[in-house]
């Protein structure tokens, strides 16, 4: 109940701030058959993901939430970011509190590094140019449940990727992404990082998006094929965006 009240107060603050100070309020909701992230299938089933973001000039922040209809997957994240021209940097406070989690999934406000079930994800993005729209991204887990086997130190697991629009026109967009993961501070004899069991190319993705028009309604549809050579896995995602503003 306390968390619900806090969430309601945050929503009111975001809306009120946008009205009072001329900030921009954005929100979206998607439905998909799974949740894919950096070579991982985080959850499967009928998954919903949504966000609320407040932006003022180059600075923005908000929260992102997700879950599935069976209740086996639940996630709530806070984030802040800064964007200038072709460069963006973000810090995400990520908390997956799914019921079957093997870590601390019952203390949302526990920020003790060796006990918490959350983690801080530091993200950077840089687009080379308008003529070469290659997006290079460096992402590192700075804090939380990215620990060695003895729970004595953080691994600082890192995911580096490049993403490029292969086809882009008024009807369709096809994007490709290649990602490599590794740990900056692995424990002795350990090979795994937060994203895969060994360092290597753990994501090869091909993402297709297209708008479906039904009368006056436009529904953005997505198809995402993702391969993880390191963990010998592959996933396929179908998605539809319910709303966006």
DSSP 28-49: EEEEEEEEEETTEEEEEEEEEE
The low-confidence residues of the chain, meaning pLDDT below 70, are 1-22
pLDDT at 11: 53
Query: What pLDDT sits at residue 216?
Result: 83
pLDDT on residue 179: 98
Residues 6+ apart with CB under 8 A from 208: 172, 173, 174, 222, 223, 224
pLDDT of residue 167: 96
* 78 within 8 A of 65, measured Cβ to Cβ: no
Output the six-digit token pair for 187.
């424990």
What does the pLDDT read at residue 220?
A: 95
**Cα–Cα distance measured from residue 162 to residue 127, given in angstroms and rounded to the nearest whole number:** 10
User: Which of 136, 129, 42 is closest to 94 using CA atoms?
Assistant: 42
Residue 1 has a pLDDT of: 47
Query: How many residues make up the chain in this entry?
Result: 245
Say what the pLDDT of residue 218 is.
87
Token readout for 61 is 């922040």
84 Cβ partners below 8 Å, 6+ apart? 58
The pLDDT value given to residue 217? 84
């Amino acid at each position: 109940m306390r968390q619900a009240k806090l969430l309601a107060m945050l929503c009111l603050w975001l809306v009120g701030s946008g009205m009072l100070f001329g900030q921009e309020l954005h929100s979206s909701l998607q439905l998909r058959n799974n949740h894919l992230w950096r070579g991982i299938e985080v959850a499967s089933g009928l998954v919903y993901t949504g966000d609320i973001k407040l932006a003022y000039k180059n600075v923005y922040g908000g929260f992102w939430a997700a879950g599935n209809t069976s209740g086996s997957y639940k996630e709530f994240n806070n984030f802040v970011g800064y964007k200038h021209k072709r460069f963006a940097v973000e810090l995400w406070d990520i908390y997956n509190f799914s019921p079957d989690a093997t870590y601390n999934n019952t203390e949302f406000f526990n920020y003790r590094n060796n006990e918490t079930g959350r983690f801080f994800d530091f993200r950077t993005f840089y687009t080379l140019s308008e003529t070469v729209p290659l997006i290079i991204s460096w992402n590192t887990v700075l804090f939380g449940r990215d620990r060695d086997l003895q729970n004595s130190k953080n691994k600082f697991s890192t995911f580096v990727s490049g993403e490029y629009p292969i086809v882009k026109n008024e009807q369709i967009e096809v994007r490709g992404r290649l990602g490599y993961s590794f740990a900056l501070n692995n424990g002795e004899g350990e090979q795994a990082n937060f994203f895969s069991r060994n360092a290597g190319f753990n994501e090869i993705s091909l993402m297709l998006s297209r708008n479906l028009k039904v009368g006056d309604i436009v529904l953005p549809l997505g198809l995402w094929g993702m391969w993880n050579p390191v963990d010998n896995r592959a996933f396929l995602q179908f998605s539809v965006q319910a709303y966006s503003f």
